[in-house]
Structure 1
Amino acid sequence: MSADYAREDAAGSFDPLRPKLMRVAYRMLGSVADAEDVLQEAFIRWMKADRCDVREPEAYLRRTVTRLCLDQLKSARHQRETYLGPWLPEPVVEEESEEDVTLPLMLALERLSPLERAAFLLHDVFGLEFDEVGASIGRDAAACRQLAARARVHVRETRPRFQLDKQHGLELANAFFTASRNGDMKALAALLAADVSTHSDGGGKRPAAMQPILGFDAVMKVQERLAVVFKHRRSTLVRVGFINGLPGFITLEGDGELQTTALDIEDGKIAAIYIVRNPDKLKHLH
């Protein structure tokens, strides 16, 4: 079998599964670039495998991707610990809301061990039986059941308490952009919850708060300072959509770089604002 034919033959069975595998890898790693690297490595292994002996390619490849992600998470944990300022996952922008794993849930997953994270995602999000979860992470079904149960305790509080109307969410995102960029503090105040928080990820590459900003008064003070900046350095709306399952928008900022803003909305008010400014995390949006 020629190398070109082997690649085409492997791609024929791999490519239809790529979107599903990408969802697993991205939700495990929180990084588009790292997820793409994992899929590339999984494809290389698939190309070298004796595919005739694989009865269920999807299960085989999901196990491969999961194990590669577990290896990646070991080094990623150290990178998170030395990261400058708040860490947020790379933004994925979609036309429709992906409600299975929203941005707050992804942040909660960061607090889990790699095995807890894998067991929770594979069972609770992707609906696999614990036997298959065990085959993917190298543990028996009983151990996987315990891992998933521990994970649920940590992430329970991040599940949305209110069902958000998607169109209303996009309207709030538009209203937040308009009020914040025009310096309309009265309109902005009406959008925010009393316990609102702001989380900005600049990664040390662009100016951003080094700690989360907590509470209505503190967030409003920051917005008042930013309104002065926006007067002199225009912020242009590029697109409104769903960012990691939350309503939000992409902007082109005055420094010529992109930025994403995602809004966690509870009971009709903005409860949390997540801003990604690190240019390394926004390359795929260009």
Structure 2
Amino acid sequence: MVSATDAFLAHRNLLFTVAYEMLGSAVDAEDVLQETWLRWVGVDLDAVQDHRAYLFRITTRQALDRLRTLRRRREYYVGPWLPEPLLTAPDVAEDVELADSVSMAMLLVLEILTPTERAVFVLREVFDLGYDEIAAAVDKSPAAVRQIAHRARGHVAARRPRGAVSPGQARDALVAFQRAIETGDLRHLLDILAPDVVFLTDGGGIVRAAVTPVVGADTVARLLAAGSGRIADRLSLRPVQVNGHPALILRRDGEIDTVVAVRVDDGLVTGLYAVRNPEKLSRVDREIALSR
């Protein structure tokens, strides 16, 4: 007979991924897993036919409660809020659907959904759960879940990345972006930035960051070019895999200062996401296992 501990550990990475996709925060996802474990050890396993489905249900309910609280807190967040970046292993990037679902761009798209819509979308579109299973997790009827899923898909489809980008294209765009930043070549920056590029920086009110989005290739390029001298003198840039996609880690005197993720559409950088809030940088010094 499988013990409660063995069953939980067998699905832990999966449950973490569910919670993280719902919350956009690894810290809160870990708290959700702790709550899930505390409830799981009190369950009579003899009465549970499907351990995975039951754990999904507990995790989803805990994440929903946490998400509703976080939404209220984020109303008072200083400047743009960005998801907590995760350093991910190569196998995440190889799973195209998983990488897409945890990308910084997609997690920001999911922010437009209500908590219930987000839970339904994640469970259905990412983890392919049946409507009956999702209904049990979100305390809705299967018919209601179908309607919620349809509505959520429509909201996401209108805002998700415009075209599929291969890992090679994303890497090429990141290499070009890194070279342009290191050299301060304004012309090269303009060549790789989409006309409507959006640059978001998240300092959380703790460190210096723009409190409003910077929009437009010319404005973004000039801002980055102006800072390239400081980067060359005081910071080092290293390409990594963050949330299943190419990104850059900027270190100041060996300490992580900023994580920059990029969104690429049709070979051009359409989104730049710079996370500077030190409270969100504790998990980019080690790989995090994600699964679906």
Query: Counterparts of 1:1-286 in structure 2 under 5 Å?
Result: 9-94=3-88, 95=90, 96-97=92-93, 98-233=99-234, 235-241=235-241, 243-253=242-252, 256-286=255-285
Give unpaired runs (5+ residues) of structure 1: 1-7
Distance, in Å, in 2 between the alignment partners of 1:191 and 1:146 is 40
Residue 231 (structure 1) shift: 4.2
Q: Determine if contact 1:251/1:258 at 8 Å carries over to the other structure.
A: yes
Q: Determine if contact 1:173/1:240 at 8 Å carries over to the other structure.
A: no
Residue 103 (structure 1) shift: 2.0
The amino acid of 2:63's aligned partner reads C
- Greater than 6 Å deviation, 4+ residue runs: none
Distance, in Å, in 1 between the alignment partners of 2:280 and 2:254 is 16
Q: Determine if contact 1:22/1:35 at 8 Å carries over to the other structure.
A: yes
Question: CA offsets, 1:44-84, max 9 Å, x none?
Answer: 21112111211111000000000001110121011110100
The amino acid of 2:103's aligned partner reads T
TM-score by length of 2: 0.89
Distance, in Å, in 1 between the alignment partners of 2:61 and 2:202 is 28
**Secondary structure of residue in 2 paired with 1:48:** coil
Residue 259 (structure 1) shift: 1.5
**Secondary structure of residue in 2 paired with 1:123:** helix
- Could you say which structure has the greater relative contact order, defined with CA pairs below 8 angstroms and 6 or more residues apart? 2
Larger CA deviation: 197-206 vs 165-174 = 165-174
Question: CA offsets, 1:120-172, max 9 Å, x none?
Answer: 11112211111111001000011111111221222112333322121231122
Identity of aligned residues (%): 40
